[in-house]
Structure 1
Amino acid sequence: MNHIKCECGHVNPEGTVLCEACGKPVQANQHIDGNDKRKLLNMRYEGSARRSTTYNKTIIDKIWNFFSSVKVAVWLIVLALIASGIGTIFPLEQYIPADAVSRDPAVFYPETYGIFGQIYYQLGFHNLYSSWWYLILIALIGVSLVICSIDRFVPLYRALKRQRAKRHESFINRQRFYSQTETVSTEDVNIVKERLQKQHYRIKEEDGHIVAEKGRFSRWGPYVNHIGLIIILVAALLRTTPFFYLSDYMWVREGETVVIPGTNSEYYIENHEFVLDTYDENDERFKDALQQEGRIIPSNFQTNATVYHAEEAEVLGAEEELVKVDDYNITMNNPAKVGGYTLYQQGYQLNAFSKMTFKIYEMNDPDAEALGEFTIDLYHPQSHYELDNGFTVEVAEFYPDFELTSDGVKSETNETNNPAFVFNLYPPESEEAETSFIGDVIGAVEELGIDPKVVDLEPMGHVVGTFAPTVDPTGENQYRIIIDAIDFDRKSGISVKRDNTIPLFIIGALIFMIGVIQGMYWQHRRVWIHPKENGILLAAHTNKNWFGLKKDIEKAIDGTSIQMVDDQKED
């Protein structure tokens, strides 16, 4: 590393603009003579050497210099803002409506929004805030903030720490505020010192040279801002990890006890009862609105539940013991909080498919009696069903939430919203199976005037009818399977959330605001008194609010023979 030696004897790092000891310009382009003698010094970072302006040889230097640029940081922030704005044009994948034709993003966006939806999906905006490129963009902003801060903080700290009262004359006469007084008494100088001290300036003297300083801590305001922003960005990135952030959803039937997702089987919830209250249609306050809406509107829906904690069994291999934590009445505005998790009442379904009873008939004799029947518990289906008359039914495939997509047949969710089956039926004393498909249960149920998707219906319980006839893919089947009865349950939709990043966001925001206040309401002000023969040179500098600094100087020199400073920038 090259060094620059000033005429005062101090050795400065390469890239230094003003000597760290005496303040004299040490770079050739800073030496100005003649009529340009009063050209103001560049006091940014006190003229100290910054790494980004010194080294540009290795790949590390080039990367450092790239990210140390404020322009690069601004552009990264602008790109993040533009991407975030585009991400709000269409709903994110998690907000695709439940009643959409298809909840498959590859189908939903082109079908709903056309070519713009296709582009939106292909560019990954449907899952913007967890997409790899958006997270990289946020990480690059963090890297830029760190490098920008280090690149400027270290040399500025080093220069301010070495603040000296004795400065080179060229440093004094090229400050923005400057005056020269030919004859000044020692008494006048002492008066100015005392008055500056009363204005909370710290006085430092060296061989008759004086520097009065206050508000230095305000110089660190931008760097405090950066620390706050870095903490906020780190918190945003940590939200992609399950430990810091969890957002899940579960359905719980009345009378059912299930593990709360995301808790590693640590907590369980038992749904005792789902309560649905509606507005009174005869209430004059809501009558017009209810008639205009044309359907029953819930005034309250809640889940009365108990949360249990799973304790390890004392005997190895035994089942875990569920210990009651507390009872909760979970409503929209009254979530349950347990073990760092928050349970929100977010949805409900009064008519969820629970059990289906099937009957077997002769294919070509629709009026014949049923040859056998079996019932499938949709929450705990078996793989085989042995009938008394010798028939065996194998559940080859089960789709709880059947959907036909461009990629083929699949189950949209694990909930029994639209069940479909592929059965292998083995007649008595036969090893050859007939394959049957039963699907579109929703459509078949709606033909009877029943819509299980409508949440404001009374619970249907047990419904008997003829639903969803068998589809024979081979056309050679001798038997057909028909849904004879359907049982419905009520389910509560519970949202499970855990966000351990909230404290980090709060800490980051508080630190950021401290930096804003620190840099906005205080200023770093300095006044130099430089003795010269029988007179003095008076100079002053501040990082902002020059009017306030001028008022301080006026109060200090009032009634003395010292000349008021001129604003050389105006000259």
Structure 2
Amino acid sequence: MENIICACGHSNPYGTKLCEKCGRPLTEEGKETKVVDMRYDGMAIRSKTYNKTFIDKIWNFFSSVKVGITLIIITLVAASIGTILPQEMYVNAPEANKAEYYEKVYGWFGKVYNNLGLSDLYTTVWFQILVGMLAISIIVASLDRGIPLHKSLKNQRVKRHESFMKRQRIIAEGQVQNPDETLDKVEQKMTELKYKVRRDGSALLAERGRFARYGPYINHVGLIIFLAGVMLRLVPGFHVDETIWIREGETRAIPGMDGYFIKNNEFTLETHDNKPQGEQLAQGVNVMAKNYQTDVTLYKQPEGALPGDLDNLEKVKDYSIRVNHPLKENGYALYQMNYRLNELKQMNFNLVSKANEEEPLGQIEIDLTNPKKEYDLGNGSSVEILVYTPDFSGFENGEPQTKTSIPNNPAFLFRMETPETPKGEVSFVEIMKPPLEPLGENKYRMKFAGADTRDSSNFTIRKDSTVPILFVGGIIFMIGVVIGSYWNHRRLWLQVEPDGRVLMAAHVNKNMFSMKKDLDAVTSFAELPQYEDQLEKPEDAEKPKKRGIKKKEGDSTL
């Protein structure tokens, strides 16, 4: 597309509305309007000019204010949907049972909510795509409008054509007796009003608050940084929010912290020695926890070690993790969140004859975390564990099922061999219930002989490297809001001919009252012609100005 040649001879890029040199309107619409559009000082905007190629259409789509507002609304609606029920990261339930948790606690709505992926909304691909599209829209809109605006403000001319001057909202025309003295007085007064004044012969440009025009674009920069921080939360290493249960005496790898291991040395629960009263009685609470803490040892794998290798771990530190007193290491924090008391650790059974239970053939000790497959009791007797269900929940198609991997309700399917029964007998044993003998009545059975318990602690591992990014983005955004809200860009053009003819024009991007207040001061001081507002209604002009009018004593208004 060819450039537009102005009557002054200057070549302007296609799409320019006002000549970059003299300020004449270059479009038929601009020539017919009473007041020219000064949003971008008439500079060509790419999205308003080109719409032919595929790239142009994509650019124009994302630069559209309507598209940007629509994306903001959709993002806000989606984000608000994610607040209806707690997100998975805040649900205190094993990963495998979170779907069951939503259905159990919130009914059918919770089940649908979880099945639709809304329970983990902020990490879903579609939500991140939505945030990414919003970020692209902000970037494209900022470049589309910000670059032309910056160029126009940076290359402002002091001398403007008369048609440009007369198409501003505030104009004045008249005669002065001494042109040079008038220019000097205007410069002096505008300088006192903290304007930056430039002169070019008999022309003058006074400008104040240009930086206010960049307020919206500073907003955009802050939003882009903020959205970048949101999207970086999906990048491994930037954001970690994991949970882990560790039993006393157990050493486990810390999820999210590569190469780090933690050992639960001991859990301690302290309670208040108080008599239940008030709300405690209403809730059936007998005692209140005063403190619960876990004494741990933090280890780190040496370089070159295989994942999960517990040999040759390097001790980092010992620490007592309490509520609001997390263990911090290398940007990570481990918080004490919950605990379980008296979790089954080991169960002991005696193999006895039903005819004489007082003389057992031997005892087996089952580690419920890592049970053996077979136990040899000697004298030709042995016990084999065919099936182990840590948290027995019933039978399905004849097979025992478990709800969780936690030994809350252990059940075993034993196969027992003795010299008297070399082919073996099968028995299903569940705590506090009679054993089941699916293959007929047995001569021997497994008799419960005791159990060992231990406490376990629940930790949350958190690391959020995006917080500084989000903070910086929020601060920059607020700076842009303040700049765009409390400052405005004011300009005054003045041209005085040798014969004393003076032409004045003024423009402000918002808050016309502030511009008129300055104009009142300069016109009074330099004895300039009275200005007029071309957009002011005739009836408004006839109304007396309240500014500076004092009511004399004795005056009355009927």
* CA deviation string 1:381-421 (max 9, x = no partner): 33443332445555555554566799998766554445455
Residue among 365, 381, 390 paired with 2:371: 381
Conserved 8 A contact 1:468-1:482:
no
Deviation of the 1:149 alpha carbon:
0.9
Conserved 8 A contact 2:361-2:377:
no
Conserved 8 A contact 2:386-2:414:
yes
Deviation of the 1:360 alpha carbon:
4.4
- 2:29 aligned partner: 29
Instruction: Tell me which amino acid in the other structure corresponds to 2:459.
Output: I
Instruction: Tell me which amino acid in the other structure corresponds to 1:559.
Output: F
Residue among 212, 216, 236 paired with 2:210: 216
Deviation of the 1:146 alpha carbon:
0.9
- CA distance in 2 between partners of 1:519 and 1:235 (Å): 24
- CA distance in 2 between partners of 1:535 and 1:431 (Å): 125
SS of the residue corresponding to residue 538 of structure 1 reads strand
Residue among 479, 485, 488 paired with 1:514: 479
SS of the residue corresponding to residue 158 of structure 1 reads helix
With normalisation by structure 1, the TM-score equals: 0.83
SS of the residue corresponding to residue 97 of structure 2 reads coil
- 2:518 aligned partner: 552
Residue among 321, 330, 333 paired with 1:342: 333
Q: How many residues align?
A: 531
- CA distance in 1 between partners of 2:438 and 2:281 (Å): 47
After superposition, the Cα gap between the structure-2 partners of 1:238 and 1:400, relative to the gap in structure 1 and judged at 3 Å, is farther
Residue among 310, 327, 344 paired with 1:353: 344
SS of the residue corresponding to residue 31 of structure 1 reads helix
Conserved 8 A contact 1:214-1:525:
yes
Instruction: Tell me which amino acid in the other structure corresponds to 2:43.
Output: S
- 1:299 aligned partner: 290
Residue among 195, 219, 230 paired with 1:225: 219
Conserved 8 A contact 1:142-1:233:
yes
Residue among 507, 521, 526 paired with 1:541: 507
Instruction: Tell me which amino acid in the other structure corresponds to 1:224.
Output: I
Instruction: Tell me which amino acid in the other structure corresponds to 2:377.
Output: L
Instruction: Tell me which amino acid in the other structure corresponds to 1:64.
Output: W
After superposition, the Cα gap between the structure-2 partners of 1:330 and 1:210, relative to the gap in structure 1 and judged at 3 Å, is same
Instruction: Tell me which amino acid in the other structure corresponds to 1:347.
Output: N
- 1:281 aligned partner: 274
Instruction: Tell me which amino acid in the other structure corresponds to 1:73.
Output: G
Residue among 231, 234, 252 paired with 1:237: 231
Matches within 5 A, 1:403-552: 414-421=405-412, 444=431, 467=432, 470-471=435-436, 481=446, 483-532=448-497, 533-552=499-518
Conserved 8 A contact 2:326-2:335:
yes
After superposition, the Cα gap between the structure-2 partners of 1:478 and 1:343, relative to the gap in structure 1 and judged at 3 Å, is same
Conserved 8 A contact 1:356-1:485:
yes
Deviation of the 1:257 alpha carbon:
3.6
After superposition, the Cα gap between the structure-2 partners of 1:546 and 1:184, relative to the gap in structure 1 and judged at 3 Å, is farther
Deviation of the 1:184 alpha carbon:
4.7
Deviation of the 1:346 alpha carbon:
0.6
After superposition, the Cα gap between the structure-2 partners of 1:366 and 1:230, relative to the gap in structure 1 and judged at 3 Å, is farther
After superposition, the Cα gap between the structure-2 partners of 1:207 and 1:259, relative to the gap in structure 1 and judged at 3 Å, is same
Matches within 5 A, 1:164-175: 164-175=157-168
> Which stretches in structure 1 are left out of the alignment for 5+ residues?
445-466
After superposition, the Cα gap between the structure-2 partners of 1:93 and 1:269, relative to the gap in structure 1 and judged at 3 Å, is closer
After superposition, the Cα gap between the structure-2 partners of 1:436 and 1:196, relative to the gap in structure 1 and judged at 3 Å, is farther
- CA distance in 1 between partners of 2:392 and 2:56 (Å): 57
Deviation of the 1:327 alpha carbon:
3.3
Matches within 5 A, 1:134-145: 134-145=127-138
- 1:329 aligned partner: 320
- 1:74 aligned partner: 69
Deviation of the 1:23 alpha carbon:
1.8
> Which stretches in structure 2 are left out of the alignment for 5+ residues?
538-558
After superposition, the Cα gap between the structure-2 partners of 1:143 and 1:359, relative to the gap in structure 1 and judged at 3 Å, is farther
**Cα RMSD, aligned residues only:** 3.4
SS of the residue corresponding to residue 387 of structure 1 reads strand
- CA distance in 1 between partners of 2:248 and 2:457 (Å): 8
SS of the residue corresponding to residue 85 of structure 2 reads coil
- CA distance in 2 between partners of 1:410 and 1:223 (Å): 60
- CA distance in 2 between partners of 1:430 and 1:78 (Å): 74
Counterpart check, 1:206 vs 2:200 = yes
- CA distance in 1 between partners of 2:461 and 2:408 (Å): 20
Deviation of the 1:60 alpha carbon:
1.9
- CA distance in 2 between partners of 1:428 and 1:28 (Å): 111
* CA deviation string 1:216-255 (max 9, x = no partner): 1121111111111111111111112231011112223334
* CA deviation string 1:513-544 (max 9, x = no partner): 22222222322111111235521111111112
Conserved 8 A contact 2:173-2:529:
yes
- CA distance in 2 between partners of 1:436 and 1:3 (Å): 94
Deviation of the 1:153 alpha carbon:
1.0
**Bigger shift: residues 366-375 or 528-537:** 366-375
**Bigger shift: residues 161-170 or 366-375:** 366-375
- CA distance in 2 between partners of 1:308 and 1:513 (Å): 43
- CA distance in 1 between partners of 2:37 and 2:342 (Å): 75
Conserved 8 A contact 1:218-1:524:
yes
Matches within 5 A, 1:99-118: 103-105=97-99, 107-110=100-103, 112-118=105-111
Residue among 535, 538, 543 paired with 1:569: 535
SS of the residue corresponding to residue 525 of structure 2 reads coil
- CA distance in 2 between partners of 1:531 and 1:182 (Å): 9
With normalisation by structure 2, the TM-score equals: 0.85
- CA distance in 2 between partners of 1:355 and 1:99 (Å): 22
Percent identity between the aligned chains? 42
SS of the residue corresponding to residue 193 of structure 1 reads helix
After superposition, the Cα gap between the structure-2 partners of 1:428 and 1:405, relative to the gap in structure 1 and judged at 3 Å, is closer
Conserved 8 A contact 2:176-2:182:
no
Residue among 261, 281, 289 paired with 1:268: 261
- CA distance in 1 between partners of 2:440 and 2:124 (Å): 47
- 1:18 aligned partner: 18
- 1:56 aligned partner: 51
- 1:464 aligned partner: none
Instruction: Tell me which amino acid in the other structure corresponds to 2:255.
Output: P
